[in-house]
Amino acid sequence: MKIVLIDPPYAFSEIGGLKQGFKHVLNKIPSLGLGYLAAVAQERGNVVKIIDCSIVLRSPEEIADTVREFNPEIIGITATTPTFSNAVYIASVLREALPKAVFICGGPHATASPEDSIKTGVFDFLVLGEGEETFLELICRIGAKQGYAASDISGIVFRDNGKIVFGPRRLRIANLDSLPFPARHLFPPPRFYSPTPASYRRLPLAVLMTSRGCPSNCTFCDRAVFGEQFRQRSVTNIMAEVEEVISRYGAKEIRFFDDTFTANAEFVKDICAGIKRLKPRIPWTCLTKVNAVNFEMLAMMRDAGCWQVLFGLESGDDQVLRHLGKNNTVIQNKEAVLLAKKAGLSVRADFLVGSPWETRETFRKTIEFAKSLPLDFAHFNKFVPYPGTKIHNDLVANGRHFDFDKGSYINNHSDFVYFPEKINKQEYAEFLNSAYKEFYLRPGYILRKTFSLRTASELMGQIKGLLSILSL
């Protein structure tokens, strides 16, 4: 069969609000989820096309023209909460162009909010959670003309005579090595992508996942897609993909996009040994947690070519950290940053501002804490109570209702899905903007960053970042 997979665009006004401050530093990377779905579908002989709307075909009408020409039997659309309204609109336009096609939606939003998603009426099926096995079983059933007798397929949602039907729960994929590598050849060439400037030194950059599942209990994070059970690929399997993205796709840097790359100390040791055997060596970065590192591990990573780690520090206030479900304190956050710097690593930190427990005082504590640390980059992310998170569920239980059609992108400082009760909307927006300016426009910081630049790609990225900060 012919299958089209679509990663819908953000609305331009949604990306950065009225001022469009962050339009130059968007994290444009291929959807690994669609890459995996395309790979498993191709293994069964299907013809697959991926449309990445962050790179090409901005309007639904342009997408419809391309899809109509391809004439697929199945149209799959992935969606986060910020892109879901665009996913619905694209699906409605495509339904008029291809009324006989079967429409499937998956991704974080459909998984976290399945009833509302299927009630839109534009999707025939939802694929919940990890999509590879569910999607493959569903398209095989559709190909056999049994698609609508699907109540026994695990992990799906569909409508039957107006009634919402949930298939049985599907177990998580135990052996991640059984999955093919993402079908990167179906995306635009790597040179068309532009990850956020704080995250790379060399382009093109390839993003990889070495594990799935997060056992942490952060109340602001939705773990519905990959679940809480931690599962890891073998080092042999990962290194084969690393070699593929270098030799076949020309990657000059790797970013490991796991929630906690350092969750397994023995794995980190083995993967570092594998990377050190590469000729030539390649720089890489990763995401991790402050309570999952030590100096010896960080020094070993640095020796293997890692140049940056990203910590989710979230707040400079211990009480806010407890409410956010972070299993660490402000002091522990500081110690981890200092250890990483001692090991010779660049440190990037995410802060989450505007949760229900935020006050003017905790705002100030967070920005002062960020400025007190030897951080190379800091992101001050707007709090959004995304569906599937504990905070969202608690707020809804207390009578709150949220409209995610506008303001759900974390870098939009003009529109808000939620703002703290003790702070008005204007103050909230002003704090978000001033946090970036206070952190990045310090003369000492600018001087230090200027002398730390290593590559032309890094220099151009930092110029883009500076322009974005100045435009806030």
**pLDDT tens by residue, 358-413:** 999 999 999 999 999 999 999 999 999 999 999 999 999 999 999 998 888 888 88
Residue 462 has pLDDT above 90, yes or no: no
- pLDDT score for 146: 53
**pLDDT tens by residue, 121-147:** 999 999 999 999 999 999 998 887 754
- pLDDT score for 148: 54
- pLDDT score for 11: 59
Helix (H, G, I), strand (E, B) or coil at 467: helix
- pLDDT score for 24: 59
Q: Rounded distance, CA 232 to CA 262, Å?
A: 11
Burial track 436-468 (b if 16+ CB lie within 10 A, e otherwise): bebbbeeeebeeebeeeeeeebbeebbebbbeb
User: SS in 3 state form for the chain?
Assistant: CEEEEEECCCCHHHHHCCCCCCCCCCCECCCHHHHHHHHHHHHCCCEEEEEECCCCCCCHHHHHHHHHHHCCCEEEEECCHHHHHHHHHHHHHHHHHCCCCEEEEECHHHHHCHHHHHCCCCCCEEECCCCHHHHHHHHHHHHCCCCCCCCCCCCEEEEECCEEEECCCCCCCCCHHHCCCCCHHHCCCHHHCECCHHHCCCCCEEEECCEECCCCCCCCCCCCCCCCCCEECCHHHHHHHHHHHHHCCCCCEEEECCCCCCCCHHHHHHHHHHHHCCCCCCCEEEEECHHHCCHHHHHHHHHCCEEEEEEEEECCCHHHHHHCCCCCCHHHHHHHHHHHHHCCCEEEEEEEECCCCCCHHHHHHHHHHHHHCCCCEEEEEECCCCCCCHHHHHHHHCCCCCCCCCCCCCCCCCCCCCCCCCCCHHHHHHHHHHHHHHHHCCHHHHHHHHHHCCCHHHHHHHHHHHHHHHCC
Measured CA to CA in angstroms, residue 260 lies from 1, 288, 308, 387, 417 at distances of 37, 4, 14, 22, 28
> DSSP secondary structure string, 178-230?
GSPPP-GGGSPPGGG-B--GGG-SSSSEEEE--EE------TT---TTT-SS-
Q: Does domain 195-383+418-470 have CATH number 3.80.30.20?
A: yes
Q: Which residue has the higher pLDDT, 11 or 190?
A: 190
Q: Rounded distance, CA 195 to CA 199, Å?
A: 7
Residues 6+ apart with CB under 8 A from 454: 201
Closest CA to 211 of 273, 130, 106: 130
Distance of CA 404 to the CA centre of its chain: 17
- pLDDT score for 406: 83
**pLDDT tens by residue, 11-51:** 544 444 444 555 556 678 999 999 999 999 999 999 999 99
- pLDDT score for 17: 43
- pLDDT score for 28: 82
Residue 414 has pLDDT above 50, yes or no: yes
Q: Rounded distance, CA 127 to CA 69, Å?
A: 26
Strands 163-166, 156-160: pairing is antiparallel
Amino acid at 152: D
User: SS in 3 state form for 220-256?
Assistant: CCCCCCCCCCCEECCHHHHHHHHHHHHHCCCCCEEEE
Amino acid at 232: Q
Helix (H, G, I), strand (E, B) or coil at 378: strand
Sequence spans of domains, the chain: 2-166, 195-383+418-470
Could you give the maximum distance between any two Cα atoms of the chain, in Å?
Answer: 66
Mean pLDDT of 136-159: 83
Place of tokens 């001087």: 447
Same fold, 2-166 and 195-383+418-470: no
**pLDDT tens by residue, 297-316:** 999 999 999 999 999 999 99
pTM of this prediction? 0.93
CATH superfamily, domain at 2-166: Cobalamin-binding domain (3.40.50.280)
- pLDDT score for 9: 81
**pLDDT tens by residue, 88-110:** 999 999 999 999 999 999 999 99
Residue 421 has pLDDT above 70, yes or no: yes
